[in-house]
Amino acid sequence: MNDLKSIKAGDEVILWNGGFEPYPRFVFVKKVHKLRIVAAGRMFRKCNGSEIRGYGHIRVRTSDAVKTMNEALADLKIKQLARSLRDFPWHKRPIDVLNQVANIIGINK
């Protein structure tokens, strides 16, 4: 449960930036108003944690939320690796290097 109503200044929350690839991170709550929470220099709604002038949102730091955050970070790391391998100039490498890579990933039979 995302219980932001009981949050107070100094508590640690998880900030999910908006966009296609959100990078979650831990931030501290700076201020808590009646309807808003200020964390990382940005304002969020206290009722649901969504950002007021943006696409991010915050969640209370719980063990389930940290587990979800770590899974998302691992998925993003895999996507970044795949993107960097896709953009690598393989045609400039010698054929023996390409054969070694193919043996490692299991496509050379």
pLDDT of 104 higher than 90: no
Over residues 79-92, the pLDDT tens digits come to 888 888 888 888 88
Over residues 17-70, the pLDDT tens digits come to 877 777 899 999 999 999 999 999 999 999 999 999 988 999 999 999 999 999
- Helical segments of 28-106, H only: 63-86, 95-105
Question: Of 6, 75, 93, which is closest to residue 47 (Cα–Cα)?
Answer: 6
7-16, 64-73, 93-102: least confidently modelled range: 93-102
Torsion sign across C-alpha atoms 30, 31, 36, 42: negative
Q: Rounded CA gap, 68 and 105, in Å?
A: 28
Q: Which tops the pLDDT comparison, 106 or 30?
A: 30
Please say whether the beta carbons of 34 and 24 come within 8 A.
Answer: no
pLDDT, residue 99, reads 87
